[in-house]
Structures are given as structure tokens and as C-alpha cells.
Chains A and B, each alone.
Chain A
Amino acid sequence: MTNALVDTSKIPGWGVDADPENDPTYPYRDRSQDDHSGKWERPPLQQSDVEILRSIEHKRQPAVFGTSTPPSGLSGVIRRGAFKYSESHWFHWLMLMGADRINVVEGLVEDLARGKVPNVPAEMGIKSEWEHNKAGLAKKVAVTAAVAGAGYALFRWAKSGGDEEESRERRPRVSAKRETAGSGAEKRESVKIPEPPATTL
């Protein structure tokens, strides 16, 4: 299979302890069929215009391949990049996993572009959840609502907190303006007084 660098006939004792029964691959590998040539008659080669990414560990393109879902979009760019690394390299797989996640977003965009609004709960099997696990579904809905509510409240808190910070900076300026510009009604109306911070958190 590989070019021998050593002439085994010149090694004293070569093969004297070889034992055909010392084979942990029995019975799922028939080693009698291994001629160590690494050569075989290849099947006819599949012809296709579809872009096929190939592991750089392959010496040549395998004869037959799947043509489903060729690489496309941003995920496709990342996938092409991933295939510059060998299968042994973590980048190869991590980039593919990243591309898979981006591909999900691309799938949503693709659906919408075709005028189809995906029914995500149905795709996730909500009907069967309702049929067989009502308590679990109620729990999921409650948790989702709680997380969404907490997220909204956090958003409101961050927003109001930001306004408060802003107001601390503005108030002295307002005072300064009042001192220098007098107490004219037009000037006072031009100053926006911030809302008090939310206290419901």
C-alpha cells in the first residue's frame, strides 16, 4: 500500500511470530481479502454539476456521492473554509457546526422569501406534546413566558437605568442653563425631564 522503505527479507526473524489467530478484528473484518496493495477496480464515476466538498484526506473524489443541499450562502462560505482543514482538525468540525447554525437562519429567510411562514411549533411537534404531555407543555409555556417576561423587564430596567444615568448628566446642565438663561418659559419647555426609573423590578 505504501512504498516500503526497508527490505524485510534482510531483517533477522522477520515474521517468525506472526499468528493469524491474533486478530482482534475477527469476525467483522476478513483480512484474507487484504492484499496490501491498496488498489481496487473503481466503480464508474458519478457525473454531477452539484458542488461537492471533499475531505482533504481523500486522495480522490469517491465514485458516488449525495447531491442533496449543496453549500450556499454564508453557511456555504464557512463550509468551504472548513474543508481546508483535515478531519483531524477541530476547526473543521467547529466551523461546520457554526455553519449549521447560520444555515438555520438562512432556512427561515428562504421560507419567508418564498412567502411561507414556517409553523415552528408544529415543526417541533407541539401537537403530540399536547396530546401526550399536557403538563410538560404547560411547564414549557410557563418557563418560556417567565423567561420572556424577565427579558422584557430586564430590557425595561436597562432602558430606564440608562435614562437615569443620562438625567444625572443633564440635570446640572439644566441648572446651569437656568442660571445663565434666566427663567423664560420657552427655555424651560425645551428641556426634557427624564421619566423616573422603573421600580417594579
Chain B
Amino acid sequence: MLAADYRGPYRVRAQEKPMPTIEHPRDAIVKVTRSCICGSDLHLYHGMVPDTRVGMTFGHEFCGIVEEVGSAVENLKKGDHVLVPFNIACGQCHFCKQGLFGNCHESNPQATAVGGIFGYSHTAGGYHGGQAEYARVPYADFGPQVIPDWMDPDDAVLLTDVVPTGYQAAEMGGIQKGDTVVVFGAGPVGIMAARCAWLFGAGRVIVIDHIDYRLEFARTYAPAEVYNFRELDDVVLFMKKTTDGLGADVCIEAVGGDAVGNAMQTLFGNKLKLEAGNAIPLHWAINSVKKGGIVSIVGVYGPTGNMIPIGNVVNKGLTLRGNQAAVKRHLPKLIDHVKNGHIDPKALITHRVPLEDISDAYHIFSAKLDNCIKPVLIPNAA
């Protein structure tokens, strides 16, 4: 089968690989019909995630048709079209029982901090991902969701990560009616977080980034006030001025370690990799939120450490909340939101690329060429 193959930082290609097989009674094999490239795939692509091995197939946002099921899978059958949450979760461990499906304790030998994630390095379990014609799906009797007949597969594939992550970013913000919410990052997740902030009753939504075409997209899609931080002398000062000197009620960090905007953080985080990524958006979020406010973090950082003003977290009495989205928990509500027209996920898709052209798809997304918001890979077999 054709699959993505990571060869090193900024290098990925499509090549023939062996078909996946059932390795556990709760496995399924899925014939991939759509597979997105996620902003967090770029952290892998840029060589920022430890234990990313050459030869791995990335891809944690995919949907497809069930081809084969293991002996313990009774809720799926061959031919079902399913969306596959990016979390690999058993559904029965100490953490899954509490709804923490991003923190499953039975799916990732290499680390305890995070559960298994498809195609996301050995730090997230060492699973091949869905940027391929076929994928092995562990715990298939728990994770995958049959796509409703009425749902467009383009909407479905975005329910595997982008929409739930954006939604949970807003949820973790504890947004109350009338709150001012600032979202750092106008990538797909940031845009979706801004959109979802309205569902929780936000009174004002502001999006900060430095890429004009993305800000324009956020302005019309969310809709939100948008500002290019390169045009602001001081982001935090601007936030204070635009909120009567108090700061925002809620700040959402939706960028992660690939951020730009501060020379020192760029040097230590992006170039020398002495930090677990460039943490300037988190720095801004902590300093822009009002005293007693909430900072919600969904941007992906590495597992080491970052330079952030933790003293201000204490002095301002802030609440920091973060997690990988528990996709399975959100799906019933989000499917309803799509059905009722509250969210239009597929509008984020700007590029459809054949799987064999994956090198170019990654480069377009990474270099932000051709006004790219969200690329979707389409395997030939689909």
C-alpha cells in the first residue's frame, strides 16, 4: 500500500509499505478515505518531537471504511464508514473511566504523560498513522464512530481532531456569557476555538496571529476581531488597552512550539531546541489575561521545559487548563452541532491533495503557501 514515510526534518515522501495487520483482538483495519495534515504534524515534520523515527507514517486525523476487524470487535463490521478519533484509548483504564481519553494508560509504553496517538512518534506510542491507504486502528471497539448517513466525509474527518480540540479549548476556558476571549493562533484549531467560543456565550472574540490570510479567514469564519501581532508594538499592552486596562477574561493558546514572535524564544525553542518549542504565545496569554482569569492551552509543546512567566500565574491568581482533546467525549454534541448548522467544519479545507503528492502538501502547509488553511490527503484507493 502507499503510505507517508518520514525521512527526517522537512522530508516526507509517499512510498510502498506492507499492509497493516490485526495485532490485537480489539484492532480493526481501515481503508482510509480522507486524512488531514494537522498543525501538530508540523511539529513532527520540523523535527521537534523526540523519538520521531525515520520510516514512520504520520497522520492522526483520518476516516475510512472498515476492512477487517479483530475477534473482540463486535460493534463494527466490514464496510462501515468510520471517523477515527486521534486518541488511542482503551475506554476502561483509570483515566479513560474518568473521560480522559487523551490520557489512556493502556496505549503508550514509551511515555506516561500522554496516551497513544496515531502516527505521532514513539513518544505517543509508536503507531503508524492514517496518511496511508490503510491503517491499523487499535481499540476499534471503543474509539471509532460510524459516520452518520447525512454527514459529509469532509465534515467527519475534521471531527477526529480539529473541531473537538478547538471546542475543548473553548470549554476549558470556562467561558461565561459576555466574556472577552483572546485566541492566540489563527491555524485551523485556533479558528475553530474562536468559532466555538461563541457557542459558550463569549461577548467578544479576538484572534492574534501574524499571517494576514489566516487572520482574514478567522475574521469571516469565526467571526472575530483579528490583529496581526507584527503590527503591534507590544501584544500584551495592546490587550490591556483594548480591555480597559484589565485584560481578557479567557486566553486560549492554540499555537504550540512552532510559534514565532520573539527572537529569544525562537533561538532557544525553535533553533537550538533547548526549550520544548517557542512558548511566546503562552507567555502572551499569561500576561494578557486578567487577574483571576483562565488560560486554556491546546498548543502542542515538547516534553521538556519552556520559559514562561510562572510567577505571574501565581501573582495574578490564574487558572491554567490544558489537555489533549478527549474526542470521544465530545463527538455526540459536535455531531449535533454540525447537523444543526452551528459549526461548518469542511469550510476549513482549502487543499485536496493526492496521497502521492504528500511532500508538496506538507511543504505548502508548513510554509503557508497558497493561502493554505487545511490540507486533506486523498488516497488513490479511496
Q: Which of A24, A100, A132 contacts B52 (CB 8 A)?
A: A100
Interface flags for A158-173 (1: CB within 8 Å of B; 0: not) read 0000000000000000
Please tell me which stretch of B251-259, B321-329, B340-348 contacts chain A, meaning at least 4 of its Cβ atoms lie within 8 angstroms of it: B321-329
Q: Is A21's beta carbon under 8 Å from chain B?
A: no
A29 engages B100 (CB within 8 Å): yes
Q: Which of B9, B97, B326, B360 contacts A127 (CB 8 A)?
A: B360
| Nearest neighbor of A122 in chain B, beta-carbon distance | B359
B125 engages A31 (CB within 8 Å): no
A28 engages B329 (CB within 8 Å): yes
- B203 contacts across to A, CB distance below 8 A: none
B11 engages A123 (CB within 8 Å): yes
Cα A46 to Cα B319 in complex, Å, equals 39
Question: Shortest beta-carbon distance, A99 to chain B, in Å?
Answer: 8
- A133 contacts across to B, CB distance below 8 A: 367, 369
Within residues 1 to 55 of chain B, which ones have a CB less than 8 A from any CB in chain A?
7-13, 23-26, 47, 50-55
A129 engages B25 (CB within 8 Å): no
- B11 contacts across to A, CB distance below 8 A: 118, 120, 123-124
| Nearest neighbor of A102 in chain B, beta-carbon distance | B54
For chains A and B in complex, what number of residue pairs have CB atoms within 8 angstroms?
194
Cα A136 to Cα B369 in complex, Å, equals 11
Q: Is B90's beta carbon under 8 Å from chain A?
A: yes
B363 engages A53 (CB within 8 Å): no
A55 engages B98 (CB within 8 Å): no
Interface flags for B90-129 (1: CB within 8 Å of A; 0: not) read 1011100111100001111111110010000011011110
Interface flags for B367-382 (1: CB within 8 Å of A; 0: not) read 1011000000000000
Chain B contact surface mostly: loop
Q: Which of A39, A97, A123, A131 contacts B359 (CB 8 A)?
A: A123
Interface flags for A125-156 (1: CB within 8 Å of B; 0: not) read 11111011100100000000000000000000
In this complex, the member of A30, A55, A100, A127 whose beta carbon has the largest number of chain B beta carbons within 10 angstroms is A100
Within residues 37 to 64 of chain A, which ones have a CB less than 8 A from any CB in chain B?
38-44, 46, 48, 52-55, 57-58, 61-64
Within residues 124 to 157 of chain B, which ones have a CB less than 8 A from any CB in chain A?
125-128, 138-139
Q: Is B264's beta carbon under 8 Å from chain A?
A: no
| Nearest neighbor of A97 in chain B, beta-carbon distance | B50
Q: Is B194's beta carbon under 8 Å from chain A?
A: no
- B326 contacts across to A, CB distance below 8 A: 28
A87 engages B54 (CB within 8 Å): no
A62 engages B109 (CB within 8 Å): yes
List 15 contacting pairs A-B, 8 Å CB cutoff, sorted by A: A40-B97, A41-B92, A42-B93, A43-B26, A63-B107, A65-B109, A66-B116, A66-B126, A68-B57, A68-B128, A69-B54, A96-B123, A97-B273, A124-B11, A133-B367
The 9 closest A-B CB pairs, nearest first, are A125-B363, A66-B127, A66-B126, A104-B8, A107-B54, A128-B360, A96-B50, A132-B369, A69-B53
Give 17 new A-B contacts, CB below 8 A, not counting A97-B50, A129-B363: A28-B168, A44-B72, A48-B23, A62-B109, A63-B24, A65-B107, A68-B126, A68-B127, A103-B54, A106-B54, A111-B7, A125-B360, A125-B363, A128-B363, A128-B370, A132-B370, A136-B367
Interface residues of B (CB under 8 A from A): 7-13, 23-26, 47, 50-57, 72, 88, 90, 92-94, 97-100, 105-113, 116, 122-123, 125-128, 138-139, 168, 171-172, 273, 302-304, 319, 321, 323, 326, 329, 359-364, 366-367, 369-370
